[in-house]
Amino acid sequence: MIYTFDIEDYYKNFCKYQLNENINFNSYFFHQTIEISEYLKSKNISGIFYILGEVAEYYPELVKKIFKDNHTIGLHGYNHKKINNFTKNEFKNDLKKSIYIFNNIDKKIKINHYRSPSFSMLKNVNEYYEVLNDLKIFNSSSFTNTNFNRIKNKINFLKVKEKPLPSINLLFIDYKFTGGSYFRLTPLFMLKYLIKRYKCNNIIFYFHPYDFFYVEKLNPFKYINKNKPISLKNKFRNFFYNINTKNNKKKYNKILEIY
């Protein structure tokens, strides 16, 4: 099994892209990432940590800690901006900016893994792979299996190996059962069934720091003007991304034990 982690601060991203408000990183995000790294190390598991460039810029000591714990460092973009509408040069500059940050933290860090923010590599795909190839980033995990199967025959991967995340089409939903809110929603017995049905020895799990702590008191809506209306879409989005975080650690630990 391959254990991957998107290292981002959900509340900072939510406020920026949904509420048009800029806030600082929160301490819960930082400490939970440290805990994840150390726990994996204690189990002799090496994970892939896809880190935002701005996270590395703000928390260089976090990157050093993850690298010291023998995990692989990958890129997740600079600030989690979706890449759907990036030009080829914009995409390349976004990656180069982050690579520069990591190189300044530790010259030994070699970036060879990439995951697009929010699995947003859906347009201009061949150009994106050209950029990854030019920057010698030869491993990508930027698709779900459902989306990947639709377009894989139209893609020129060059030297890049794409490793899509497991997903099933469930009532028109791209159900990514090995990570995020979908993992938290899916009972353990159903997860085991889906993993067995998937018939793959290298199933990719993906998590975030906020998947493992209860964050109700970090309500992002407190950062906006009280007179500003909050859309039902944003209320549901915040609810969905925080669902069942209280009980997720137990399930996560069980998965590590089984697989």
Residue showing tokens 């309500």: 219
3-state DSSP assignment of residue 8? coil
How much is the pLDDT for 214?
Answer: 60
CATH superfamily membership of 2-258: Glycoside hydrolase/deacetylase (3.20.20.370)
Candidates 121, 117, 125; CA nearest to 76 is: 117
3-state DSSP assignment of residue 128? helix
Interatomic CA distance for residues 173 and 176, integer angstroms: 9
Candidates 12, 81, 69; CA nearest to 44 is: 69
Which residues on neighbouring strands pair with residue 6, listed in sequence order?
50
- This model's pTM is above 0.85: yes
Hey, what's the torsion of the CAs at 236, 122, 102, 206, to 10 degrees?
Answer: 50
How much is the pLDDT for 201?
Answer: 64
Q: Enumerate the domain spans of the chain.
A: 2-258
Interatomic CA distance for residues 98 and 53, integer angstroms: 4
Q: pLDDT tens for the chain, 259 residues: list them.
A: 899 999 998 888 888 888 888 888 888 889 999 999 999 999 999 999 999 999 999 999 999 999 999 999 999 999 999 998 899 999 999 999 999 999 999 999 999 999 999 999 888 899 999 999 999 999 999 999 988 998 899 999 999 999 999 998 888 888 999 999 999 999 999 999 998 887 666 789 999 998 887 655 567 777 776 677 788 888 888 888 888 887 888 899 888 888 7
In the sheet where 161-162 sits, what is the strand order? 161-162, 139-140, 113-114, 72-75, 48-51, 2-7, 204-207
How much is the pLDDT for 215?
Answer: 58
How much is the pLDDT for 241?
Answer: 81
Candidates 63, 72, 55; CA nearest to 139 is: 72
Residue 190: alpha-carbon gap to chain centroid? 23
Which residues on neighbouring strands pair with residue 205, listed in sequence order?
3
Quick check: 115 and 140 in contact, CB under 8 A?
yes
State both tokens at 48: 């892939």
For residue 6, what are the contacts with CB-CB under 8 A and spacing of at least 6?
A: 50, 76, 115, 206, 207, 208
